[in-house]
Chain A
Amino acid sequence: MNTLTRDGLRKLVGEWMAAGKICVGPVRVKPGTVLFARLTSPEELLLDGWVRPANSIKELLLPRNETLYGYRVEKNRIELLDPPETIPEQIAICAHPCDAAALPILDKVFNWDFRDEAYNRRREATTVITLVCAEHDEECFCTSVGLAPDATGGSDAMLYDLGDGQFAVSSLTEKGRAILGEAEAHGGHASAPPVRFDPKQIARFAVDRFADPFWQAHSLACVGCGACAYTCPVCHCFDIVDEGNGREGVRARNWDACQFSLFTLHASGHNPRHAQGDRQRQRIYHKFHVYPEKFGETLCTGCGNCARNCPVGLGVLPLITEIPHAEPV
């Protein structure tokens, strides 16, 4: 199966759903908004008319709210309730290369010193079918962080839109072959954004000019919400909360974001990142210096969602293109 029609793809999605697999793909949730969402029918799957959804597929691996375990108290006995051992197979359909590339990046974080069972369980159950980008917009910058609109990292299979209602299919991994069969397409049209900066220069600036007034001056508009981090394919910070009462409850893991003032607030009242500029700098510093130093690659896939979702026009690209001499070398 080297090609697949649109109807053929929908039919497959219907079969996967009927088999109990969770299918996630781009869905038009509002006239102006496309999000990756769990499909309730194959017809919801949107196959054109968007550049990229305003969220990412990271939620398949790191849900915004995940129960780690529950507890129940009966008389003098406390019972711990483990989450289900197995989770249903999940398939991301029409992910973008900038979504798929996030998976190997997240793998490192969730396995380097501690093997995060919840994450790995979901990771193993997830198959990613990536759609090569036939379009890009001015927020896209994957080529600046070493990726491409047809990059295969993290994907189990690739779809190339041939423009005539057909997709060329390429199965890359066992998981991909298991659902799409053997297929080996040889590329197709891909729309690459221009290279906008050199990540090494950004890292150097973030380290050398850590205390530079640049950070405060260019973060004045930031209102301190989590829209950038929560729609980012690789931002992975989380908070652990206990919810319940004296008799029963759960310990849950929820997303958290470095742009919230509470993120680093100490119990004493001291906040080491007391100004919003410190928090914006942290986001850049972590993505372009801390993570690369530890794991050898950039913690950014150039999807541009931070800028698309920022209510006040900030985001990784808008901020770092303000950095002096940040133009490509």
Chain B
Amino acid sequence: MSGTEAFSPKIVAYVCNWCTYLGADLAGTARLEYPPNVRIIRLPCTGRIDTNLVVKAFEIGADAVLVSGCHPGDCHYTAGNYHARRRWMLFRDLLDVVGFDMRRIHFTWISAAEGKKFQQAIEEITEQTRALGPYRPYEAKPAAAACSGCAVVDACSASASAIAAPPADSPAQTRLRETAARLLSEGAVKVVIGYGQRGPAFITKPEDAARLVWNQTCFANLTTYLKRKEIRALGKPAIVLKGCDERALVVLEKESQVDRAEMHTIGMACAGMGQPKCAACDTRQTRFADETIADDAPVPPPTAERYAALDSLLQKSPEERLAFWTTEFDRCLKCYACRQVCPMCYCERCLADKNRPQAIDTSPHRKGNFAWHLSRAIHLAGRCVGCDECTRACPAAIDLRLLNLSLARAAETKFAYRAGTDPAVEPLVGAYSLNDKEEFIR
């Protein structure tokens, strides 16, 4: 056995029960021959094909993956394929940023009458994959452990600028404390969710309002606490919001997770908190808050391009990107700090914590970590507001922000969508358009 001549690629095809599966069946009954390299997995609808399944196929040794469903307009369930199409558009961008070989992921529409098209697709994919050789993304050689100045030096988000010393009692801080004390003593709210000396603070008595601070350490996104049962048990909250945090609230409300009528929002004008996200921030003021507090200082405009870090990563070759992410994910401990601080991760029980079936390996080994981070990112597509809490919380300094940015840009460029900016717009994933671009689907 030597080289590619002996190589027989393994191709996993996830197909829709109502069209492509019947197309494959037709190819069989019509005696159309196609290579035996394909393993067909039948699912009820392309809308049901979880992106995890694609990752799983590569995990267990597939050399290429085909996802195939009904032509637009033909879905047995009206619109499953439209939803799937939108999800793939986003998922492809994510895989590309991570450095997966995009020549090994194929999408087709094949109807029950298109036995011939199925035969051709399998022939082409088999030949193409044979030429590419075996695919072993999880055996990519990681970059050196040390930040070497580095593989993607410009993309590094970890070099947050030093946090300036908190100013002594700013007028905004004084007004924030007065507001909190007033709301609590009037009985308008039961708890004020704000920032204390060391992080989030939960003020329940007017006399404790002096524990609140407003300074350069107030970078956490407090909206994540609105989902926690311990906080909900305290009663009606008032929450301190920056403009960026408010976008999370818009998404949460759109997804029916919170009701603004049942809380009081205190908007803080923010000049930036010294975090990487702050340089490109264009939402320094809240727009819908019940009351706003602002210092006299003018709010600075953004000074950096939002996707600069992502761009410098994308200038690297797919192999370099894969090596970069391999190094990053190899540090992952699966402490789930990224998930726990995320306002959008509100599932009662996360997919990663379910074991019947085990969609994602719980082990913090390379495959388990790739599966986890890809899954986390795609579940946030069109929902992540870029608060970067995941990146800040990560004890292993994994640059998760870049994954979020890739999906944010996909949403913005392909769908003119920015999560949390317009409460009137339908959520990105959950809606679809007949005009979604499908140039990547054969």
Contact = CB atoms under 8 A, between A and B. Distances in A.
A217 B220 CA distance: 20
Nearest to B146: A44
B331 A254 contact: no
Nearest to B355: A241
Given A225-B337, A254-B364, A277-B230, A31 B395 contact: no
A312 B230 contact: no
Given A28-B147, A277-B230, A254 B159 contact: no
Contact of B337 (A32, A35, A311): A311
B335 A226 contact: yes
A41 interface: yes
Contacts of A33: 158, 396-397
Interface string A9-52: 00000000000000000011111110101111100101000000
Q: Is the interface of B mostly helix, strand, loop or mixed?
A: loop
A126 to B, nearest CB: 19
Contact of B395 (A41, A54, A241): A54
B177 interface: no
A236 interface: no
A226 B146 contact: no
Contacts of B229: 275
A166 interface: no
Nearest to A43: B146
29 contacts: A29-B147, A30-B156, A31-B158, A32-B160, A37-B331, A40-B144, A41-B144, A44-B145, A54-B396, A54-B397, A55-B333, A55-B395, A65-B363, A220-B202, A220-B230, A223-B337, A227-B393, A230-B335, A231-B333, A243-B363, A255-B334, A262-B353, A275-B229, A311-B199, A311-B389, A312-B200, A312-B220, A313-B196, A313-B198
Given A225-B339, A231-B333, 4 more contacts: A29-B145, A65-B363, A260-B336, A311-B337
A318 interface: yes
Nearest to A310: B199
B407 interface: no
B116 interface: no
Nearest first, the 4 closest Cβ-Cβ pairs linking A and B are A313-B199, A313-B198, A30-B158, A311-B393
Interface residues of B, number: 47
A216 B230 contact: yes
Contacts of B335: 225-227, 229-231, 257
Contacts of B199: 221, 310-314
Nearest to A59: B333
A152 B42 CA distance: 62
Given A55-B395, A254-B334, A312-B199, A243 B361 contact: yes
A70 interface: no
A309 interface: yes
Contact of A230 (B202, B231, B333, B353): B333
Interface in A46-89: 46, 54-55, 64-65
Interface of A: 27-33, 35, 37-41, 44, 46, 54-55, 64-65, 216, 219-221, 223-227, 229-231, 239, 241, 243, 252, 254-255, 257, 260, 262, 275-277, 309-314, 318
B201 interface: yes
Contacts of A216: 230
Given A31-B156, A44-B146, A230-B333, A241 B198 contact: no
A29 B397 contact: yes
A31 B198 contact: no
A31 B363 contact: no
Q: Which of B224, B368, B396 has the most CB of A within 10 A?
A: B396
B11 interface: no
A241 B393 contact: no
B347 to A, nearest CB: 12
Interface string B86-102: 00000000000000000
B410 to A, nearest CB: 25
Contacts of A30: 147, 156, 158-159, 397, 399
Given A30-B397, A311-B220, A64 B334 contact: yes
B340 interface: yes
Interface string B224-236: 1100111100100
Nearest to A64: B364
Contacts of B334: 64, 226, 254-255
A220 B196 CA distance: 12
B190 interface: no
A226 B231 CA distance: 20
Contacts of A257: 335
Nearest to B365: A65
Contacts of B145: 27, 29, 37-40, 44
B362 interface: yes
Contact of B224 (A28, A32, A223, A276): A223
